[in-house]
Amino acid sequence: MDAKQRYEMWLGSDQVDDVTKQELVNIKDNEAEIEDRFYTNLEFGTGGLRGVMGAGTNRMNIYTVRMATQGIANYLAKIGISEPSAAIAFDNRNNASLYALETALCLCANGVKVYLFDALRPTPELSFAVRHLHCNIGVNITASHNPKEYNGYKVYWDDGAQIVSPQDKEIIAEVNNIEDFSMVKTMDKDAAIDAGLLNVIGQEIDDAYIGELHKLVMNPEEIQKAGDLKIVYSPLHGTGLKPVTRVLSELGFKDVHVVEEQAVQDGNFPTVKSPNPEGAEAYALSLELAKKVGGELILVTDPDADRLGMYGYDSKNNEYKEFTGNMFGAILCDYVLMQRSQSGRLPENPAIVTTVVITNMVKEICKKYDTFCDCNNLIGFKNIASRMRAYEQTGEHNYVFGLEDTFGCLPGTYARDKDSVGTLMLLCEAAAYYKNRGMTLWDRMVELWQEYGYYKEKVQTMKFDGREGAAKIQSMIQTLRDNPVQKVGAYSVEKIYDYKLGTETDAATGKSEAAVLPKSNMIYYQLADGAWFLVRPSGTEPKIKFYLGVKGSSQEDAAEQLDELAVNVKAMFS
Ligand SMILES: O=P(O)(O)OC[C@H]1O[C@H](O)[C@H](O)[C@@H](O)[C@@H]1O
């Protein structure tokens, strides 16, 4: 079926509600809009299904949610799982609880026992719940940090990790087989409860999850000594509020200031355009409050509380400094390895698990603590979780800490997705530890730069919408593949790693050889003087992404080098 035929099918179906049909009638003369909404099904990307809410097969709505769910149910049946079970959560987005219920009822109608949260919960708690309740799968309705127009559907497997290849492809094949609404089952909510298929969960899972976080605390006495640490926190209208304030108060942090306007659950995110800790606007209200109360640490979590962001007080210059995900990730990585090794709690064959675009500083920190830095992994926390699964199967390493540049860490094995609550808690512990030594986390960052070098990184993006945009992004990457360069600005190119071709090329000789690289359409340029860049298409947004990194001789030098590299890389693609 082409886009127009699918559009007609939706309009003619007695299973599509009148409001949706009216939305479709309103675009009847807009060919481009019909094409965009119906040319394809939403695809599983880096973070599962994600799209703008609205009518169409390429949109998030109850029909695409049900079709995806039916595909998953068919997959569970196909691989012969007896007595299947699922945990389902949702965040504060508009329609999130509705999509969660639709998912639950479709699964129940397929004989799957469902545990559905009674109200919004963080992504890491869903990941934990899948493991805790021994479910076969989990679903979380969230579009993470995307703007309010979006919603999404993250799918978890029985270890609590988001699904990866080839399983995601097998599931999507089942989803794509569902072309007709009549293939989708659903049932009445009361009937599902009476049959014991739909079970509501809440407090008992919260308690078990928070209990796991308590076990991660390394220095409770440091927290007691610095319990007056002034923490400013914003949940950005989402799920972090309850678990974050609970765990901080249980640990003895007494001076926590929550940004009130952003403590209100709201799917319209009235105080921010995009509830993303990677963007400066997410901190505007927190910074205001911090200046008022003398905050030492500013922490924000995204709506589904898998990511967090941070600003720290710089007492020497009396200002707040922004920390990138690489920066606080490096601080925590160092803190955890140092504390564990000093107290003899570092396991044998310890590993820090991360991705190809992490700051090189983390690799240096790992060397110091004789720890394996497992970084030849694709972007997306699910790929870190895959390594955790592999370790459990082979026993080759023991996971200590996982982190991504995109503001996400996981400080233990209790969950298999990034956890802003556990990460935030450990950052507060580290801040307390350094406060007791007369230092701020900014002071610690400066020390790390002095010890390891002035690493600095950033990500640049360019947006290209729709079908044409997606093709343009592919062709930009292919053009670089076909026309490799030998110099990027002042840097000469040392090596080129092509993750699609699985090759490593020596730029000086032009010789290519096969390399063990996970497969993906991305290219990594290793440049002289510790600089690098990587280009890839986003898996969650219509964007091409450029990851850049440099190593300077001072903070100023690193900033200058990075700006220059950014200009030169951009010029290559314009
Ligand atoms: O870069 P994208 O494919 O858009 O993904 C955006 C982000 O999605 C998730 O949060 C992943 O865990 C991150 O690693 C990734 O950076």
Per-residue pLDDT of 508-535, as tens digits, reads 999 999 999 999 999 999 999 999 999 9
Shortest-distance Cα residue to atom 15 of ligand 1: 380
Domain boundary among 390, 417, 452: 452
- Ligand 1 pocket test, pick from 46, 162, 546 with the greatest ligand atom count within 8 Å of Cβ, gives 46
- Sheet containing 198-201: give its strands across: 49-52, 150-156, 137-141, 85-90, 113-117, 198-201
State the pLDDT at residue 352: 98
Q: Which atom of ligand 1 is nearest to the CA of 307?
A: 10
- Answer whether residue 15 is part of any domain: no
Shortest-distance Cα residue to atom 11 of ligand 1: 380
In a shared domain, residues 181 and 254: no
Strands 256-258 and 398-404: unpaired
> Is 302 near ligand 1, meaning CB less than 6 Å away?
no
- Sheet containing 319-323: give its strands across: 256-258, 231-234, 297-301, 308-314, 319-323
Q: Which atom of ligand 1 is nearest to the CA of 404?
A: 14
Ligand 1 centroid to residue 426 C-alpha, Å: 22
Q: What residues are labeled active site?
A: 144
In a shared domain, residues 195 and 262: no
> Is 380 near ligand 1, meaning CB less than 6 Å away?
yes
Ligand 1 centroid to residue 439 C-alpha, Å: 33
In a shared domain, residues 67 and 186: yes
State the pLDDT at residue 44: 65
Question: pLDDT class for 41, splitting at 50, 70, 90?
Answer: confident
> Is 43 near ligand 1, meaning CB less than 6 Å away?
no
Ligand 1 centroid to residue 144 C-alpha, Å: 10
Ligand 1 centroid to residue 405 C-alpha, Å: 9
Average pLDDT over the chain reads 96
Shortest-distance Cα residue to atom 6 of ligand 1: 540
Shortest-distance Cα residue to atom 10 of ligand 1: 380
- Whether the per-residue pLDDT at 45 is higher than 90: the answer is no
- Whether the per-residue pLDDT at 69 is higher than 70: the answer is yes
Sign of CA dihedral 353, 214, 96, 302: negative
CA distance 177 to 175: 5
Rounded to two decimals, the pTM is 0.95
- Answer whether residue 20 is part of any domain: no
Question: pLDDT class for 180, splitting at 50, 70, 90?
Answer: confident
In a shared domain, residues 261 and 168: no
In a shared domain, residues 176 and 95: yes
State the pLDDT at residue 47: 64
CA distance 148 to 89: 18
Question: pLDDT class for 466, splitting at 50, 70, 90?
Answer: confident
- Answer whether residue 30 is part of any domain: no
- Answer whether residue 245 is part of any domain: yes
State the pLDDT at residue 310: 98
Ligand 1 centroid to residue 66 C-alpha, Å: 24
In a shared domain, residues 448 and 464: no
Task: State ipTM.
Answer: 0.97
| Model confidence pLDDT, tens digit, residues 405-463 | 999 999 999 999 999 999 999 999 999 999 999 999 999 999 999 999 999 999 999 99
Ligand 1 centroid to residue 22 C-alpha, Å: 34
Domain boundary among 409, 435, 452: 452
Ligand 1 centroid to residue 207 C-alpha, Å: 29
Structurally, the chain folds into a number of domains equal to: 3
> Is 91 near ligand 1, meaning CB less than 6 Å away?
no
**How crowded is the C-beta side of 383, counted as CA atoms within 13 Å?**
19
Sign of CA dihedral 195, 198, 203, 209: positive
Residue whose C-alpha is closest to residue 529's, from 485, 487, 573: 487
State which H helix or E strand residue 50 sits in. Answer: strand 49-52
Question: pLDDT class for 169, splitting at 50, 70, 90?
Answer: confident
Structure token pair of residue 202 = 């809440």
In a shared domain, residues 415 and 541: no
- Answer whether residue 16 is part of any domain: no
In a shared domain, residues 462 and 359: no
Domain boundary among 398, 431, 452: 452
> Is 536 near ligand 1, meaning CB less than 6 Å away?
no
CATH number at residue 271: 3.40.120.10
Q: Which residues span the domain enclosing 527?
A: 454-572
Q: Which atom of ligand 1 is nearest to the CA of 380?
A: 14
| Model confidence pLDDT, tens digit, residues 369-419 | 999 999 999 999 999 999 999 999 999 999 999 999 999 999 999 999 999
- Answer whether residue 6 is part of any domain: no
- Ligand 1 pocket test, pick from 308, 540, 543, 546 with the greatest ligand atom count within 8 Å of Cβ, gives 540
Residue with tokens 């590993």: 351
User: E-assigned strands of 118-262?
Assistant: 137-141, 150-156, 198-201, 231-234, 256-258
In a shared domain, residues 199 and 260: no
- Answer whether residue 219 is part of any domain: no
In a shared domain, residues 353 and 378: yes
